[in-house]
Structure 1
């Protein structure tokens, strides 16, 4: 644990580590408190319950601020370049939370609260992509299409690759991530370009 972390940050870091190691059910508030080097009452005082800790942990891993900054500051409104930038950064982000994503799969269906919290990540990405696609559509740079469907297609393209590589390594696809993203984005952008 970092000595510069606040008590809440230590609790969140401990919970993330325990969620990854022991799953949601196994990461009790008592174990979280011990790992964070605080009293269990302190955990409840800061968060109230384990669901609130999970929510705070998801928020701490949120891609939204990072993606928002990329879209706000780095978009060139060249569809292929922008989507490649988003995809590359998406994969870097997903790699950083790989263990947590895999918990979501391992515990899927057992704890609806996990599914609900984890679903926030693609929902935020979808919202940001729909907004970006709307601007591109207004500028006449993409075809008339269902923007939400296209945002989800782009997410699935990237998420599918991430899960395949995470779970199966190069057993399914042997090309590099860089090559896959370039080819996938090229085809996707061509399909949306008038």
Structure 2
């Protein structure tokens, strides 16, 4: 390292230390220069002014680093947009919470900054958003139903992460989320719902029954897993979080407790009955287990199944299947199929919102989809009568 670069780094390190301990507002360029043991003129030669120094310090912070510096796997190598979002969220929060004081100071004092400092902070956030958008772009390209541009999705994600970071590091005993994992899981669910809200692609009955048939031939656990996907409309993250104690069933009902809401597990799936409330693929899987693990689903290693484990089972069980559009079925279509079926059977949007936990706005496209299907059936029926 050259003497010039060494001096520059000393100044950045000194500023980082003072920004963290005193705050940005109270830190002077003179104090930074003295701590770095250089002349204040040297600081101005390297950074121009305090705002330039602030930008340089921000570049050292994990909150403003390029995603590639935080992650080992590029977005184009992940299987889904949800996975890309989750892995960035995990890496971001792990990095910024190793030394949270700087980011808290930057955000907390921003209202009191002079215009130049606020412009520097805005520039740093804009650059962070731009780099995050570039990271997400390949994953978005692999998700044809996503209706958000990379910059918009990046801004949603960055705002959510910064908000969570502030709450986590300033609020004592907050009850918004039980832990960071729950927050990230909910964030992924929210982003998936937002990006797929206008594209509802429910699966045909023949494809649904073929997937369930394949799962039944594979193993009891897979049969139960696909049964819950199509019979309760749950996401991978929701299923992965379930424990055996969250199952409620008798001869008159079969429910799963998801946080504060209950979701029914249907006997009938796309016109075919899969057992009863008390004897079905899920209850059969649970009766077959001899372990004492509380998780509802276990992987081959005997550990709780993760969302990734569930994704992998779906990919194997649907291999070679194609929808009428010529695409392979994706796992999100299981929940979409369940919601369309529930509305077709007569459940109201308000009640479906209560069961799914989704806002009415996100369910409106499902109502339109059901109306389209009914209109098509009516048209065909009228033609047959002609």
Counterpart secondary structure, 1:24: coil
TM-score for the superposition, normalised by structure 2: 0.43
Query: How do 1:175-194 and structure 2 match up within 5 A?
Result: 175-193=178-196, 194=199
- Tell me how far apart the structure 1 counterparts of residues 102 and 23 of structure 2 sit (CA, whole Å): 9
Offset of residue 65 of structure 1: 5.1
The structure with the larger Rg is 2
Counterpart secondary structure, 1:27: coil
Q: Residue 74 of structure 2 aligns with which residue? A: 73
Offset of residue 7 of structure 1: 1.3
Offset of residue 11 of structure 1: 0.9
Q: 1:167 aligns with which of 165, 170, 182?
A: 170
Offset of residue 23 of structure 1: 2.6
After superposition, the CA RMSD in angstroms is 2.8
Offset of residue 85 of structure 1: 0.3
Q: Relative contact order, CA 8 A, sep 6+: which one is greater?
A: 1
- Tell me how far apart the structure 1 counterparts of residues 46 and 136 of structure 2 sit (CA, whole Å): 39
- Tell me how far apart the structure 1 counterparts of residues 42 and 170 of structure 2 sit (CA, whole Å): 37
Deviates most, 117-126 or 175-184: 117-126
Distance 1:97 1:114, change over 3 A: farther
Deviates most, 175-184 or 42-51: 42-51
TM-score for the superposition, normalised by structure 1: 0.79
Alignment of 1:142 onto 2:131: no
Distance 1:10 1:34, change over 3 A: same
- Kindly indicate which of the two structures has a greater share of residues assigned to helix: 1
Q: Residue 36 of structure 2 aligns with which residue? A: 36
Please list every run of 5 or more consecutive structure 1 residues that lacks an aligned counterpart in the other structure. none
Offset of residue 32 of structure 1: 1.0
Matched residue pairs, number?
Answer: 190
Query: How do 1:29-178 and structure 2 match up within 5 A?
Result: 29-61=29-61, 63=63, 66-69=66-69, 70=71, 73=74, 75-111=77-113, 112-178=115-181
